[in-house]
Chain A
Amino acid sequence: MSTTVIVFLVLYYVVVLGIGYWAARRGAGENLEGYLLGGRNVGPMTTALTLQSTTMSGYMFLGAGGLGFAQGYWALWYAVGDIGGGVLNLSVIGRRMRKLSQMLGALTSIEYLEKRYPSPAIRLIGGTLTVFLLGFYVLAQLIAGGKGMALVTGMPYPVALAIAVLVILIYTFMGGYLAVAYTDFFQSLIMLVGVVWIMSAALAELGGPTAAHAQIAAVDPTLLTMWGKDLGFEGQWGVVAGALLIFSVGYMGWPHVVTRHMAMTRPATARRAGAWATLWNLFFVPTPYVLGVLAVVILPGLADPEMAIFEIAVKLLPAAVTGLVMAAIMAAIMSTADSLLLQTGSIASRDLYERFINPKATEKQMVAVSRGLVLIIAVIGYAVALVEPPTVFSIVVFATTVLGSAFLPAYVCAVWWRRANTPGALASIVAGATVAFVWEANGLVDSTQLHPMLAGVTTSTIAMVVVSLLTQRSSPVPPHILDAMTESDRVGPIPERFLRAADSSLAPAASEVAHALREEVRNDQR
């Protein structure tokens, strides 16, 4: 085990813990809105980078590299959609969702759905589905963290895994959303430096891009095509469309990602955040996939394709740089895991515990429940990660496909389609999740040549449109929601009457928060 690598890792952990401590000192953990949404006070650059680093995850260093190694440039279909995922998400729903969530008095992305589509069933089904899928997604991050740390440091896998889980838990507990957002910001920069450094070393080793591609062509020319190894995906446009959709429009259906819109300082933060997201994605997103392709000639005969990027780093970089790169990889894993844990805990406490079990829960009780659940999920995740379940790629694609299929039309129509009603949203969530799940579980991709994401999103969209239109008379969208939608469309300040109306629909704990915030604003103005 290299001392230099460990020094870099320890230094990295100290810095992220320091950021978490600083965010906690800023008062992020004092009330529920502070804990869950950072007091809706997160600026454009931080919004963009927390959005991107949360969505990138350990998948980028394991799954993306593994896919590039196995399928060559075909893997880039995922990347070229992903590059626009951030700006697409922010431009389509960012500003409107920020306004609408505030007017409806929602603190979590699932609570927002219930406020927009009034029905306890939305919250129960949406909350349960999200907790399950995000828990599953966390699992992939834990496996990635354990595998990576074990390889680079030489520590036994269970010890490496335990250290990663512990650090994530400590800083998620310390400051809630704000700690997560600011550590994500820092980690996104480390991730960028890390992948660019590995790519530079890889290209230098192979004599530049043209020479690298010539060497890959000598091994297998089909790896340079957009149709996969041995042209295995040739003409399968249904699979290509799904790969493009999953990380572009798919983001709009991920509850842990759309929460970022609700936490922005101002609705217009979405504008500049979109530009930052594209800039960061252009440099970061394609790199791990291409590194996986280059590994074909750098690491011939690699046993575990998902370890391609780790192995390149260990082989080509000096120990000091490997330490930095390892920190980058851990940054990707941890920045996603902490966000997932926080969101899972928040949704379980507010959307399930407070809403259905203890409606009179105080803020302190809810934060305690959220933290307790985070701990339970981390412990279960740790136990499951020890037995090494499926690959990181398969877990991430499964969880994100079902999430995107279930929630994409519900979130998009919430701000754009005035006729989207409760039965439509319920049908859309249930149908989308079921179809995507069945498609994944039964391996229908091969027989239908349709990506599960495409099948799921198409189904949930049709369900939303058809059921909403058929039930307009029996379940019209309530007038106060239509008013709020009209207001979210308008550019300008939210009228006081909307903020007053939001109060009456809030849970007791959230009303206290709203009241305290208004008092704070008045004090500031004095």
Chain B
Amino acid sequence: MTLLGLPIETALVVFGFPLFWIAYTIVFLIRTRHWERDDAADDETR
């Protein structure tokens, strides 16, 4: 079994890790929305 001519194990690593990092980034963005409070406060002092 292959994907784009790659063995399935290779394809899982090559495409699976990037998908994991995309998910990590999305979760990071969602869970840190409140960080913008740092910005708002910083704007006041500027």
Residue positions of A touching B, CB distance < 8 A: 73, 76-77, 80-81, 83-84, 87-88, 91, 95, 99, 209-214, 217, 224-226, 266-268, 270-271, 274-275, 278, 281-282, 286, 491-493, 521, 524
**A492-B41 in contact (CB<8A):** yes
Nearest CB of chain A from residue B6's CB, rounded to whole Å: 6
Residue positions of B touching A, CB distance < 8 A: 2, 4-7, 9-10, 13-14, 17-18, 20-22, 24-25, 28-29, 32, 34-39, 41-42, 44-46
B18: A residues at CB distance < 8 A: 80, 83, 282, 286
Contacts A/B (CB < 8 Å), 23 sampled = A76-B10, A80-B14, A80-B17, A81-B17, A84-B17, A91-B24, A91-B32, A212-B5, A224-B5, A224-B6, A224-B7, A225-B9, A226-B10, A226-B13, A266-B38, A274-B25, A278-B24, A278-B25, A282-B22, A492-B37, A493-B41, A493-B42, A521-B46
**B25-A213 in contact (CB<8A):** no
**B9-A491 in contact (CB<8A):** no
Known: A84-B24, A91-B28. A521 touches B5 (CB 8 A): no
**B20-A268 in contact (CB<8A):** no
Separation of A77 and B9 alpha carbons in the complex (Å): 13
From the candidates A80, A209, A268, A275, name the one contacting B5 in the complex (CB within 8 A).
A209
**B45-A266 in contact (CB<8A):** no
**A491-B5 in contact (CB<8A):** no
**B39-A268 in contact (CB<8A):** yes
Separation of A88 and B17 alpha carbons in the complex (Å): 13
**A271-B32 in contact (CB<8A):** yes
Separation of A282 and B19 alpha carbons in the complex (Å): 10
Chain A residue with Cβ nearest B25: A278
**A213-B41 in contact (CB<8A):** no
Known: A76-B14, A225-B10. A268 touches B22 (CB 8 A): no
**B35-A271 in contact (CB<8A):** yes
**A95-B38 in contact (CB<8A):** yes
Separation of A224 and B1 alpha carbons in the complex (Å): 13
A491: B residues at CB distance < 8 A: 34-35, 37-38
Separation of A524 and B43 alpha carbons in the complex (Å): 12
Nearest CB of chain A from residue B40's CB, rounded to whole Å: 9
Most chain A CB atoms below 10 A, which of B17, B18, B38: B38
Nearest CB of chain A from residue B24's CB, rounded to whole Å: 6
Nearest CB of chain B from residue A279's CB, rounded to whole Å: 8
B6: A residues at CB distance < 8 A: 73, 213, 224
**B46-A524 in contact (CB<8A):** yes
Chain B residue with Cβ nearest A276: B25
**B29-A84 in contact (CB<8A):** no
**B38-A274 in contact (CB<8A):** no
**B35-A278 in contact (CB<8A):** no
**A492-B10 in contact (CB<8A):** no
**A217-B39 in contact (CB<8A):** no
Q: Known contacts A87-B21, A267-B35; can you find 4 more A-B pairs with CB under 8 A?
A: A209-B4, A210-B4, A492-B37, A493-B42
**B38-A521 in contact (CB<8A):** no
From the candidates A83, A88, A275, name the one contacting B29 in the complex (CB within 8 A).
A275
